[in-house]
Amino acid sequence: MIAEMDRAEGYIARYALDKKHLRQDNSPRQDLFYPHPHAELSVTFHGDLSEIEIWRIGLAVALQRARKLFGRGDLKLTAACVQNLKVISDPVEGNPNHAIIVGWPKEKEARKLIALELAEAATGIRIPEDLESI
């Protein structure tokens, strides 16, 4: 079932699968939140997940895409609902907390501006070294 998520509660995670997605100080870059080439941006709602569960989902996403997980950008749901964006619950196999951010403008520059706004509102977190072997 796809439904708009409660804007007032919780956090979402966007997984960083490229080392360029996080700066040296761990702050997220706008590319982490840029929905290319798709019309939506895939995220995971923290909900009642533990830290280890959030990281395990990220590791599974990286494995599925044959990439390395470098970290994640955490963002309050309220911060993700800017402009005309909405966070929609979209459970997938292996991740019942999967969601998508929809409502992106068609214009590239407008998308980039929103992605920058999201990156500035997010907290970047590098993957802990002891999790890389999970």
pTM, entire model: 0.90
Question: Which residue type sits at 113?
Answer: L
Q: Residue 120: how many CB atoms within 10 A of its CB?
A: 12
Structure tokens at 104: 């992106």
**pLDDT tens series, the chain, 134 aa:** 345 655 457 999 999 999 999 999 999 999 999 998 888 999 999 999 999 999 999 999 999 999 999 999 999 999 998 888 999 999 999 899 999 999 999 999 999 999 999 999 999 999 998 875 55
Bridge partners (DSSP) of residue 64 are: none
Q: Round to whole Å and give the CA distance between 16 and 20.
A: 8
